[in-house]
Amino acid sequence: MLDNLFAAGAIAAVGEALASAQAGEGPIAVIGNARLAGALAKQRTTLAVGLSARAAKKIAGAVDDLGGVEPRSLAAVIAVDVATDDAWEAMLREWTRVVRDGGAIVLVDRGHAPEASRRALCGGLTELEQRRAGRSIITSGLVSHLA
């Protein structure tokens, strides 16, 4: 994954995206990055998801996937490498399922800003914002459940 990507600037940019989205209180999920999950766990309740077996041993409560998470129970989902993942549509559907109305999905990628925006829009996110932190692109958007 992108463990080396998460310098202090990228972690701060993710925090800014959560604050700007007004994701509010409540638990968040961090997909695929132990360093980011650990940093955010110092600030709020964080569920680490999809880590390597080695990293999962170091983080209490880490899970393999979001299958056991109740629908609309999280304030936000933060994920890495979405702009280059072929399974992005299914992932965004699953993340939208677990984030409450008005919550945020934050995508962290190395480059690929236009593709990250396109995927966020196609995934149904609204009020998109992008931030740069070095080579990292942080794309955030709000979840809107119409039903």
Per-residue pLDDT of the chain (147 residues; tens, 9 = 90+): 444 545 678 888 998 888 887 777 889 999 989 989 988 888 889 999 999 999 988 888 899 999 999 999 999 999 998 999 999 999 999 999 999 999 999 999 988 999 999 999 999 999 999 999 888 999 999 999 876
pTM (two decimals): 0.90
pLDDT at residue 66, rounded to an integer: 94
CATH topology for 3-142 is: Rossmann fold (3.40.50)
Domain limits, the chain:
3-142
Q: H/E/C letters for each residue in the chain?
A: CCHHHCCHHHHHHHHHHHHHCCCCCCCEEEECCHHHHHHHHCCCCEEEECCCHHHHHHCCCCECCCCCCCCCCEEEEEEECHHHCCCHHHHHHHHHHHEEEEEEEEEEEECCHHHHHHHHHHCCCEEEEEEEECCEEEEEEECCCCC
Write down the pLDDT at residue 6. 53
